[in-house]
Amino acid sequence: MKSHYRVVVIGGGVVGASVLYHLARYGWTDVCLIERDVLTAGSSWHAAGGFHALNADPNIAALQGYTIDLLSEVEAESGQSIGLHMTGGMHLAGTPDRWEWLQANYRTFQSIGIDDVHLITPEEAGRLSPVLSTEGILGGMWADREGYVDTTGTVHAYAGAAKKRGAEVIEHNRVLELHQTGGGWQVVTEQGTVTCEHVVNAGGLWAKQVGRMAGIELPVSPLAHHYLITDTIPELQGLARELPMCVDLEGFTYSRQDQQGMLVGIYELTPKHWMMDGAPWSYGIELLQEEPDRIESELYHVFRRFPVLESVGVKTWVHGAFTFSPDGNPLVGPVRGKPGYWCACAVMAGFLQGGGVGKSLAEWMIHGETEADVFGMDVARYGEYAANKRYIRETTGQFYSRRFVMTYPNEQLPAGRPLKMAPAHDAMTDAGARWGVNFSLEVPLYFAPDGFEEHPSLRRSNAFDLVATEVRGVREAVGLLDISGFSRFEVRGPGAAAWLDRMMAGRLPAPGRARLAPMLSRSGRLKGDLTVFNWGDGAWWIMGSYYLRDWHMRWFADHPASGVHVGDISDTIVGFGLAGPNARKVLEQLTEGPVGELPFMACGDFDIGLIRARVARLSVTGALGYEINCHAADHIALRSMLMEAGTELGLREIGYEALGSLRLEKSFGIWSREFTQIYTPGQTGLDRWIDWDKGDFIGRAAALAEGDGPGPERVIATLAIEAEDADASGYEPVWQGDRRVGYVTSGGYGHAVGLSLAMAMLDRAAAAEGTALTVHVVGRARAARVIAPAPYDPLGKEMRS
């Protein structure tokens, strides 16, 4: 062990070994991995080792595909057998909704370029797995690239390939302490102290403790998980091919062949947490006592699905712990306020996701950003609220118990809620608000009468007409929206303007004005679709997506400047938005100030009733609109005054479902849909907000290069779809004839224009207005056409009136 390394990776499981390998592969060879025991001594050695294609996040599904492709390459490079069995695999559906869900997911895989997937009939499933009972099966989805590996061999292959490239692996050496230094980190181990520029927490079952060594509370917990291996099954002897991987979605089980027996794993509905503060340091290549009574109902189901199991015994019980995050996806990336500290933990499906995690983290560390959009596994998708132990228990348990339970797009899950609530939450609840959650904050989805209950659905739900009424309320009169669910950052100090001018690609607003402001990475890709306000008193605001609060604050912290203070005021400043032709009339009843003279995209301080508020004239609905920002203590009073002032003007409270319809009618993009960190300004149309004539800003050279070139190959366009009882939602493939030309980024119904709408990332040649296309909606082909942007009020007269 040397005294200094560029990177120290803590943890010798599959994730740590993959991170080490990718760092070395990309040219950083002065790196080492430190393991407290031996490689695999944690979750890796007893993992089932399966890999499959399906993931609810298409970006993570694509990284899973990368991992699968990498396995054979790492085996060849290292010379270490990984015991690869590419058996193929199937997911089976036993209810109409689940079968429809699989059909929709099949099309999603097409959108992201995973083409070795197809749908199968029950009869085909029976032929592929001769010991399977097809009773109750409606259909399935088959993937060629599914199977399993020898887990120990795979970890050693990653580590061996890394060592061949110059990396170092140090076993039997527990990390005792971590200390931040001016140039990186000091790592105190049983064998001595080393320094490094970067340290990676790939601690697995010990990730909690490795986080606490640096003063970090990670939202991660181990849960116990069962699988069993049977004795020899006579019916498997003499089969021409090995049984495929099989996920029985109704039985909460996965299975595969294991020599001449079967391996069966269970995600039971009664999860059990284990050592929430992290595994004991002495724990390693050990198992927990099996508890078959706890999984009795799931075992009964799998015995019915595979009748051959009823006549064989259990050869081996495996009851071990794996780490989970609140949503089941990994925790990856840099931690704000801890320069050089990186997470690569909570990877509960390490042999499926470990390659993608290692690749992305190495790219991030070396190049400053990742090739793929990895927000779905970015540690910054959680805030400090997620460190709460009860929150972790509830959410990780919820994910585990729903591992194979279908979640509908309009379904709101209860774990960890309610947590944060805007001050007027109770008043809005009394008015019929139905709530969703955004970065732990309760946000109104729509307003409903007493006794109404929305039914989960892949199609238009029974809340469709309620949302339509809210949309018409905005278009015809005035709607009131709680805008607490937007982030707000305050920038102050003598260097504030210069800092903002460098951070934002657009022109800064003059005093008393607001401007849309794209923010770019150094490579010219998007880092934000923000709005900058210049209040004229030395204070600047940046407003954006509430769930990106920690993500954006990390970016701001990575670009400090003297004389600048950036503060997150999202929980102290809240407010309401007014939108619709009567919006101005409502405000004029509450103020003696010249609010009616406020021009479009202007802002200022006004007395609204008894409240001193900061008001901006803008709206994402496309209607005449105002955003009224107040202190949290004034939120209840502000709502009350606005509701009273709007009584005779048709004021109606609305939720974010209506806002989604309104913004689609204007072809307004949103983050994580039309705008992501892998798209460029030219692709998304945000280049029209770039100030090309101002001085240098982050990403300027790359953005100029895009503008000087032939243009992006794909661009965002608006579609009208001939849908019936369902609308596109995202990642549905778009076809021109039999050629795939793009995918939907978001969709829904435009209640004011009477059209099923979508925005889509399309090949430029297919994005011309009038182009006839086809879109799969909930798995069914629907005719579509490209239409001009902003089908409602295309000239924007209403919001400028």
- pTM, entire model: 0.97
What pLDDT does 163 receive? 98
**Average per-residue pLDDT in the chain?**
97
Residue 114 — pLDDT band, cuts 50, 70, 90? confident
pLDDT tens digit sequence for 439-480: 999 999 999 999 999 999 999 999 999 999 999 999 999 999
What pLDDT does 61 receive? 86
Residue 238 — pLDDT band, cuts 50, 70, 90? confident
What pLDDT does 59 receive? 85
What pLDDT does 113 receive? 85
Nearest to 483 by CA among 549, 573, 570, 576: 576
pLDDT tens digit sequence for 90-109: 999 999 999 999 999 999 99
Residue 130 has pLDDT above 80, yes or no: yes
pLDDT tens digit sequence for 559-605: 999 999 999 999 999 999 999 999 999 999 999 989 999 999 999 99
Task: List phi, psi (to 5°) of 154.
Answer: -70, -45
Residue 407 — pLDDT band, cuts 50, 70, 90? confident
**Cα–Cα distance for residue pair 643/720, rounded to 1 Å:** 35
Residue 52 — pLDDT band, cuts 50, 70, 90? confident
Of 54-63, 162-171, 298-307, 730-739, give the lowest mean pLDDT range: 54-63
Of 59-68, 669-678, 744-753, give the lowest mean pLDDT range: 59-68
Question: Looking at residues 2-15, what average pLDDT do you find?
Answer: 98
What pLDDT does 36 receive? 98
The token pair that represents 143 in the structure block: 């993937």
**Cα–Cα distance for residue pair 420/459, rounded to 1 Å:** 30
* Strand-strand pairing, 714-721 and 755-763: antiparallel
Residues 608/590, Cβ–Cβ less than 8 Å: yes
Question: Looking at residues 637-662, what average pLDDT do you find?
Answer: 98
Residue 535 has pLDDT above 90, yes or no: yes
Residue 53 has pLDDT above 80, yes or no: no
Residue 56 — pLDDT band, cuts 50, 70, 90? confident
- Report in angstroms the alpha-carbon separations of 72 from 12, 75, 158, 757, 770: 20, 5, 11, 43, 46
Question: Looking at residues 373-395, what average pLDDT do you find?
Answer: 97
What pLDDT does 406 receive? 86
Sign of CA dihedral 28, 29, 30, 36: positive
Which residues lie closer than 8 Å to 246 by C-beta, 6 or more apart? 89, 90, 92, 129, 132, 254, 255, 256
What pLDDT does 115 receive? 86
What pLDDT does 242 receive? 97
Share of the chain above pLDDT 70, in %: 100
What pLDDT does 54 receive? 72
Residue 170 — pLDDT band, cuts 50, 70, 90? very high
pLDDT tens digit sequence for 490-532: 999 999 999 999 999 999 999 999 999 999 999 999 999 999 9
